[in-house]
């Protein structure tokens, strides 16, 4: 018996000050936690179309895919596994993000402030592993 996989995407967006765009999730999984804008890939949609759509639905921002960054696997509430492909995107810097769709809130977060947020499981570690964030050690 094989475990059902659900394709999903995440949008990694940094502003000109190096802050990361995060949304506070309004629905499970990780409800109430801060995470990358993203969600499931719809039938007939490719990965890059899905990440651009999800970014727009959850933040109101229009993005352009720069490159694929990495893939993570996370357990889903229904016993399946989310296969999440994360992409780096550029956005028009003149627009302010606004929470939409299933996002409760949206914020630009500095890498330093990320450690103090309740983030979805493995987010910080994945971003660090892909070389997008410096490892956060104890303050000196």
Could you tell me the CATH number of the domain that includes residue 25? Answer: 3.90.79.10
Residue 23 lies in a domain: yes
The percentage of residues in the chain with a pLDDT greater than 70, rounded to a whole number, is 95
For residues 109-129, average pLDDT: 93
Taking only the tens place, the pLDDT of each residue in 82-118 is 999 999 999 987 789 999 978 899 999 999 899 899 9
Residue 51 lies in a domain: yes
| pLDDT confidence of residue 135 | 61
What residue numbers bound the domain in which 35 lies?
5-129
Structural domains counted in the chain: 1
| pLDDT confidence of residue 1 | 60
Of the candidates 119, 29, 121, which has an alpha carbon nearest to the alpha carbon of residue 76? 29
The pTM score is 0.91
Residue 109 lies in a domain: yes
64 DSSP β-pair partners: 90
CB 89 within 8 A of CB 66: yes
Residue 135 lies in a domain: no
């Amino acid at each position: 018996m094989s475990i059902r996989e659900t394709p999903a995407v995440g949008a990694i967006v940094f502003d000109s000050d190096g802050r990361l765009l995060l949304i506070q999730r309004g629905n499970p999984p990780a409800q109430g936690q801060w995470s990358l804008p993203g969600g499931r890939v719809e039938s007939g949609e490719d990965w890059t179309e899905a990440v651009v759509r999800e970014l727009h639905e959850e933040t109101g921002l229009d993005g352009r895919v720069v490159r694929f960054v990495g893939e993570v696997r996370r357990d889903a509430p229904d016993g399946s596994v989310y296969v999440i492909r994360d992409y780096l995107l550029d956005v028009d810097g003149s627009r302010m993000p606004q929470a939409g769709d299933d996002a409760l809130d949206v914020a630009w977060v500095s890498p330093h402030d990320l450690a103090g947020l309740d983030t979805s499981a493995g987010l910080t570690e994945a971003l660090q592993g892909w070389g997008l964030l410096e490892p956060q050690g104890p303050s000196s």
